[in-house]
A and B are shown apart, each in its own frame.
Chain A
């Protein structure tokens, strides 16, 4: 959820002045401080919230969240983080990653780092939260909760958490209905001190028995007895009645209120949150604010939602009871809806219009609010609303109907999408996807700007639908049509269409088209201000260009994206880490291991939370590429497989295939063969681009098992396909393998690789390729390939460092800055710089840090 957070939901209810204290409950709750979880579990009206608020008093370090049925996994974590921030000053970047494991771990480590203060997290009305992700995430947090943190759940039903395990571990303290029931003594104190009633002992006992200590019932009983001379008779009548206790008492209380108060209670019961002017709009009076205050003072079941007492709500149970008295709530809902519309709270205005069964009004409001919500990426919130609009209303509202499709595609519910889009186009009499300038007679359009963007959106959704079915040609065709139909300034639709086109082209191996589409999408995203998405696309662009053998262009994709987002608000943006991981991969391609290690260090310094969904697995594959240790590399690949997230990209380099190559690197041919068998790959497979990486891996396995004939045949076909698709980066690798299979010349591979400086594709193959390289004319590039050998790093340097350079190098390891080093060595700063430059050149590095890494690798220090 990116929507605004409601302040009122983080408001911790204050102890009511003069409220009865219940030391019994506070002692039980105190025990909770030595456990991870306190569960306050009882039906509505048992005084759960009050008991917790009284116990907390003015305690600091309380993160309070009042949940309601609108909360889903998105908003739940947002409120939790906001409440923690308020209570402890905690700042965490975990939110966008929650509830994924990475996000939870990050949140835990941030919580761990808080100064030792005790923190109590209170989640009130936890039963209202739907979605198993929330429960799973909370269970994970509980399992790893830092010592000084405690979670308290107030709920009507036992939550789906591992309660029995916590109970056995002594980490669960429970307050249940039996504990919360008022004892006769507590009832007496309450009725006397809070309600100001002096009742005969037998009346108190009768009340406690009849209400079974149920707080809400006791409070209602007290209210109904206030100012009555015949209280003993009233209690006797109540005790002898069979009616549902709360129902009976609400009737009694209402009957004893002045007409004005009773009307106010009944009319405003339709509101889930109340403020003076809103109440006035519903009741048609002007005394709302004063009424609310009076109700608050009279203990008439209103709960203040803020410290300034501007917003209130009724106690849930009381409101439910009041609602049963309403025979015709629709007009009240409509008045509430109108006020909320004027005050700008369109989403709540929609809720009331729906409650009034005024679907036309609800539809009007939805249409007006959708464009804004879409900009805020809140489309998932549409789905339940639109589902409550009858089909015949939707049929007349093309704009709303298309938004509904958007909501459905976002939650991957494609089953009715096509029929809905067909229906919309039929109704508006679309011709070849084009909609008439003016909506046809009989259709309702409230958002004319929206109407103009709809034709393109329809095509875009058709494109997404085609992609979900694996129909790539239609994906491309529809995306292109969307682009033609989109209004000039609609960057959002244009970028989405182009990305869809790029995705489809990529999956078919048409990298040139894919690259062009993604480049254009980047321009639109930038214009629309979606900078985080620009970073996401940079990785895709670089992947495409790398396969094309255009390393410099690939590098530019990352550098441009970094440049573009450097000064963005909130920089470094999420996705910045991906750029450094990507750059490291490119540097490795060029044989610059030290530079790659440098970029990896930059990515790691930013932290996992600055990475997009793909980054966790990509970073691990990079580290596996960088290490020479067998176990470390395999463990990293295992982690990468667990963290794999294609983020909608085609699976062009699946992690298991990467692992198979790693096995080959360490001479474990059988393990690699087992992978190929499991994937049912053979030399005669029909080739397709998405499997190219796997087939090249298969060819490598053939080579390693001495089956050079099978390898040769497969490689010839792979080379043809790569060449036809313009994938020259891939082609170089295939040519190297062909040369190995046949013992033939590396001439063409070297020529293709030289311009962009592709090094590792040769040097990773070790001695066999070195032998072939030595047969070529010793151009500078060939010399470099022979120099940059792997896996055994050379001990010496082609051009050794001078004594003076060694002196400088030793100081480069230290913390001294340039002028300090110059002073220490008694040389001028310029001389020192000359030495440094020379060291960098000889070590083939570009930074001080890389020089140190390289020197360490070469055991120079």
Chain B
């Protein structure tokens, strides 16, 4: 069962980054943050993704589970 998450980072990311976060939708918010929304297969995949964000130096603002029925 996949789980859906919305991950907010500080700074706007261009659409080019969508390939780096395969399967995630990028939304640039007016407050200067970017929301990545999508699903991961399990907790390990989520941690891998967070680590990838950390490796890129992206400041993490929040991680929120979202109802999977509304996203996919």
Query: Does B41 sit at the interface, judged by CB under 8 A?
Result: no
- Whether A246 and B12, one on each chain, are in contact in the complex, defined by CB atoms closer than 8 angstroms, is no
Query: With A and B bound together, what is the CA distance between A43 and B56 in angstroms?
Result: 8
Contact A320 B12 (CB under 8 A): no
Asked if residues A156 and B58 are in contact (CB atoms below 8 Å), the reply is no
- Contact for A242 among B12, B20, B54, CB less than 8 A: B12
Q: List the B residue with the shortest CB-CB distance to A316.
A: B55
Interface contact B56-A44, CB-CB below 8 Å? yes
* Contacts A/B (CB < 8 Å), 8 sampled: A44-B56, A156-B55, A243-B13, A244-B10, A247-B13, A324-B16, A324-B17, A327-B19
Instruction: Assess whether A742 is interfacial by the CB under 8 Å rule.
Output: no
Interface pair A325/B16, CB less than 8 Å apart:
yes
A321 part of interface (Cβ distance < 8 Å): yes
Chain A interface residue count: which class?
20 to 34
Point out the residues of chain B lying under 8 angstroms from A216, CB to CB.
57
Contacts of A243 in B (CB 8 A): 11-14
- Chain B residues within 8 Å of A317, by CB: 55-57
Q: Looking across the interface, which residue of chain B has its beta carbon closest to that of A241?
A: B12
> Which residue on B lies nearest to A251, using beta carbons?
B14
Work out how many contacts link A and B, with CB atoms closer than 8 A.
49
Nearest A residue (CB) for B59? A43
Q: Which of A157, A214, A245, A247 contacts B14 (CB 8 A)?
A: A247
Question: A568 vs B16: C-alpha distance in the bound complex, in angstroms?
Answer: 60
Within residues 18 to 47 of chain B, which ones have a CB less than 8 A from any CB in chain A? 19-20, 28, 32, 34
**Does A613 have its Cβ within 8 Å of any Cβ on chain B?**
no
Interface size, chain B (Cβ < 8 Å) = 18
- Taking a contact as CB atoms under 8 Å apart, the answer to whether A244 and B55 are in contact is no
Q: Is A406 in contact with chain B by the CB < 8 A criterion? A: no
Contact A246 B20 (CB under 8 A): no
The CA-CA distance from A324 to B57 in the complex, in Å, is 14
B: which residues have CB within 8 A of A?
9-14, 16-17, 19-20, 28, 32, 34, 54-58
* A304 adjacent to chain B (CB < 8 Å): no
- Determine the distance from Cα of A324 to Cα of B55 in the docked complex, in whole angstroms: 13
Residues in A610-647 with C-beta less than 8 Å from chain B: none
Contact A44 B16 (CB under 8 A): no
Which chain B positions have C-beta within 8 A of A242? 11-12, 28, 32
Interface status of A213 (Cβ within 8 A of chain B):
no
CB-CB under 8 A from A244, the residues of chain B are 9-13, 34, 58
Q: Mark A38-49, 1 if CB is under 8 A from B, else 0.
A: 000001110000
A436 CA to B52 CA, complexed, in Å: 48
Contact indicator B16/A246 (Cβ below 8 Å): no
When the two chains form their complex, are residues A44 and B20 in contact, meaning their CB atoms are under 8 A apart?
no
Contacts of A325 in B (CB 8 A): 16
Q: Is the CB of A320 within 8 A of B34?
A: no
List, in ascending order, chain B residues with CB within 8 A of A214's CB: 57
Residue from the set B9, B28, B57 with the largest chain A CB neighbour count within 10 Å: B57
- 9 more contacts with CB within 8 A, not counting A244-B34, A327-B19, are A43-B54, A216-B57, A242-B11, A242-B28, A243-B11, A243-B12, A320-B55, A323-B20, A324-B19
In whole angstroms, what is the CA distance A110 to B9 when docked? 48
Listed residue (A43, A157, A317, A321) with the most chain B CB atoms within 10 angstroms of its CB: A43
B11, B13, B28, B54: the one contacting A157 at CB < 8 Å is B54
Determine if A246 and B57 form an interchain contact, defined as CB atoms under 8 angstroms apart: yes
Which residue of chain B has the shortest Cβ distance to A212 in the bound complex?
Answer: B59
Minimum CB–CB distance for A157 against chain B, Å: 7
* A320 CA to B17 CA, complexed, in Å: 11
A317 and B12 alpha carbons, distance in the complex (Å): 17
User: In whole Å, how far is B65's beta carbon from the nearest beta carbon of chain A?
Assistant: 23
**Interface 1/0s, chain A 322-349, versus B by CB < 8 A?**
0111010000000000000000000000
| 6 closest cross-chain pairs (CB), A and B | A244-B11, A242-B32, A243-B12, A242-B12, A43-B57, A44-B57
Among residues of B, the one whose C-beta sits closest to the C-beta of A156 is: B54
Residues in B neighbouring A321, C-beta threshold 8 A: 56
Q: A531–B31 Cα gap in the complex (Å)?
A: 68
A317 to B55, alpha carbons, bound, how many Å? 7
- Minimum CB–CB distance from A388 to chain B (whole Å) comes to 15
**Contacting residues, chain B, for A327 (C-beta < 8 A):** 19
- Which A residue's beta carbon lies closest to that of B31? A242
Which residues of the partner chain B approach A316 to less than 8 Å between Cβ atoms? 55
What's the minimum C-beta distance from B13 to chain A, rounded to whole angstroms? 5
- Nearest chain-A residue to B32 (Cβ)? A242
CB contact under 8 A between A45 and B57, given known A324-B16, A324-B20, A327-B19: yes
Name the distance in Å between B61's Cβ and chain A's nearest Cβ: 12
Chain B residues positioned under 8 Å from A247 (CB to CB)? 11, 13-14, 17
Chain A 126-169 per-residue mask, 1 if CB under 8 angstroms from chain B, else 0: 00000000000000000000000000000011000000000000
Residue interface bits A241-260, CB-to-B below 8 A is 1, else 0: 11111110000000000000
Residue on B nearest A243 in the bound complex, by CB: B12
> Contacts of B20 on A, CB cut-off 8 Å?
323-324
Which residue from chain B places its CB closest to the CB of A46 in the assembled complex?
Answer: B57
Query: What 0/1 pattern do residues 204 to 219 of A give for CB contact below 8 A with B?
Result: 0000000000101000
Chain A contacts for B54, CB-based, 8 A: 43-44, 156-157
**How far apart are the CA atoms of A100 and B25 in the complex, in Å?**
47
State the CA gap A256–B70 with chains docked (Å): 43
A241 contacts across to B, CB distance below 8 A: 12
- Complex Cα gap A45–B10 (Å): 17
A327 (CB) vs chain B CBs: closest residue: B19
Chain A residues whose C-beta falls within 8 Å of the C-beta of B55 in the assembled complex: 44, 156, 316-317, 320
Residue of B nearest to A324 (CB): B20
The answer, among B9, B19, B56, for a CB contact under 8 Å with A320, is B56
Cα distance A214–B59 in the bound complex, in angstroms: 12
Residue of A156, A157, A243, A327 with highest tally of chain B CB at under 10 A = A243
Taking the nearest CB of chain A, how far is it from the CB of B7, in angstroms? 14
Q: Shortest beta-carbon distance, B44 to chain A, in Å?
A: 13
How far is A320 from B9 in the complex, measured between Cα atoms in Å?
17
Residues of B within 8 A of A156 (CB): 54-55
Chain A residues near B14 (CB-CB < 8 A): 243, 247
> Looking at B9, B11, B28, which has the most chain A CB atoms within 10 Å of its CB?
B11
Q: Among the listed B11, B17, B28, B34, which residue makes an inter-chain contact with A245, where contact means beta carbons less than 8 Å apart?
A: B11
* Complex: A323 Cα to B17 Cα, angstroms: 10
- For B32, list chain A residues within 8 Å (CB): 242
| Set of chain B residues within 8 Å of A157, measured between Cβ atoms | 54
Shortest distance from the beta carbon of A328 to any chain B beta carbon, whole Å: 10
How distant is A129 from chain B, measured CB to nearest CB, in Å?
14
Q: How far is the CA of A43 from the CA of B9 in the complex (A)?
A: 14
Residues of A within 8 A of B58 (CB): 244
Q: Which residue of chain A has its CB nearest to the CB of B52?
A: A320
Q: Chain B residues near A45 (CB, 8 Å)?
A: 57
Q: How far is the CA of A244 from the CA of B53 in the complex (A)?
A: 12
How far does the alpha carbon of A323 sit from the alpha carbon of B12 in the complex, in Å? 18
Chain B nearest CB, measured from A315 CB (Å): 11
CB distance from A322 to the nearest CB of B (A): 11
A148 CB to nearest B CB, Å = 35
A245 to B55 CA separation, bound complex (whole angstroms)? 14
Q: Considering the chains assembled together, what is the distance between the CA atoms of A45 and B57 in angstroms?
A: 8
Give residues 292-329 of A contacting B (CB, 8 Å).
Answer: 316-317, 320-321, 323-325, 327
- Least CB distance from B21 to A in Å reads 10
Contacts of B34 in A (CB 8 A): 244
CB distance from B24 to the nearest CB of A (A): 13
B10 to chain A, nearest CB (A): 8
Kindly provide the distance from the CB of A41 to the nearest chain B CB, expressed in whole angstroms.
12
In the bound complex, residues from chain A placing their C-beta under 8 Å from that of B9 are 244
